[in-house]
Amino acid sequence: MKVLVTGSAGQLGQDVMLQLQKQGHEVMGCGRKEMDITVLERCQEVIKEFGPDVVIHCAAYTAVDDAESDVNSAYMINATGSRNVAIAAEKNGSKLVYISTDYVFDGMGIDPYHEYDNTNPKSIYGKSKKAGEILVQSLSSKFFIVRTSWVYGKHGSNFVKTMLKMGQEKSFLQVVDDQMGSPTYTVDLAKILLELIQTEKYGIYHASNSGSCTWYEFTQAIFEEAEEVLGLKFSAQLVPCSTEEFHRLAPRPRNSVMEHLSIRTNGFQDLRPWREGLRDFLQELT
Phi, psi for residue 230 in degrees, rounded to 5: -105, -10
What distances in angstroms separate CA 72 from CA 76, 91, 216, one per listed residue?
Answer: 6, 27, 33
Would residue 75 show up in a list of annotated catalytic residues for this protein? no
Q: Choose, from 61, 125, 185, 205, the residue flagged as catalytic.
A: 125
**Residue 170 neighbours by CB under 8 Å, 6+ apart:** 235, 236
Angle ∠(119,38,117) on CA atoms, nearest 5: 10
Which amino acid, one-letter code, is at 123? Answer: S
* CA 275 from centroid of its chain's CA atoms: 17
Contact 27, 5 (CB under 8 A): yes
As a whole number of angstroms, the distance between CA 187 and CA 132 comes to 24
Which amino acid, one-letter code, is at 22? Answer: K
Contact 252, 105 (CB under 8 A): no
Contact 216, 238 (CB under 8 A): yes
Please give the positions annotated as active site: 125
